[in-house]
Amino acid sequence: MMLLQLTSGQGPIECCKAVGLALKTIERECQAQNIDYSIIEVVGAQQKGCFKSILIELEATQKAKQFAHHWQGALLWVCQSPFRTKHKRKNWFFSGNLYEVNTQQFDKAIDYQTCRASGAGGQHVNKTDSAVQATHRETGLMVRVESERSQHANKRLATALMLQKLEMLKQTEVSEQDKSRWQQHWEVQRGNPSRTFKGERFTPQD
């Protein structure tokens, strides 16, 4: 499994807009290169088309891996703020991080339980144990997914979200050990961006 996470960190709404523009660019590039992808989780911001965080699953191929590497590290969008016209700042940082995991080995560290989904859904919800709860034995972290109709799809999503939680936990632990080290999901590094995009059209300056 290969997951690409984009985040605005603790940046303002403009950084969240940059994440939204990056998502559109990634979708367009994946379609052009015939790379399969699916959006696992989105954390929206207060404005339409703006996101604090996005988690994308990419097909586990070398081509997809090479593609994802172009979206790692500190990323910069250079543009006049579309929300604050008189704001002098034009540099909006966000970041990307790639997670790779051997799902067969990963599954050995997780307990999966199936249960009936709750909420709306009619007969399907009432009679089918399609929801999946995943628990990481070592840390006790737990994820429950019931958004999909099939148990297999919910298990896949639960695995992806568990991987994300474990990566975030790892980053937090490292941050506590070394405050000077940049942490992708909590703080977006500024300076020396790996990629820069300019203008409202989000044109890459590679």
pTM given for the model: 0.73
Residue 52 in contact with residue 35, Cβ under 8 Å? no
Region at 180 (left for phi over 0; alpha for psi -120 to 50; beta for the rest): alpha
DSSP state of 25: H
| Secondary structure class of 62 (helix, strand, coil) | helix
Which tokens belong to 95?
A: 């970041």
Report percent pLDDT > 70 for the chain: 84
Q: What is the structure's pLDDT at 195?
A: 93
Mean pLDDT, to the nearest integer, of 143-152? 85
Domains of the chain by range and CATH?
Answer: 2-102+181-204 (3.30.70.1660), 104-175 (3.30.160.20)
DSSP 114-147: EE---SS-HHHHHH---EEEEEETTT--EEEE-S
Mean pLDDT, to the nearest integer, of 40-44? 90
Q: Closest by alpha carbon to 66, among 103, 18, 29?
A: 29
| Terminal alpha carbon distance of the chain | 28
Q: What is the structure's pLDDT at 47?
A: 94
Q: Which residue has the higher pLDDT, 117 or 28?
A: 28
Residue 161 in contact with residue 143, Cβ under 8 Å? yes
The model's pLDDT over 152-167, given as tens digits with 9 standing for 90+, comes to 888 888 888 888 888 7
CB-based contacts of 122: which residues, under 8 Å, 6+ apart?
A: none
Residue 25 in contact with residue 201, Cβ under 8 Å? no
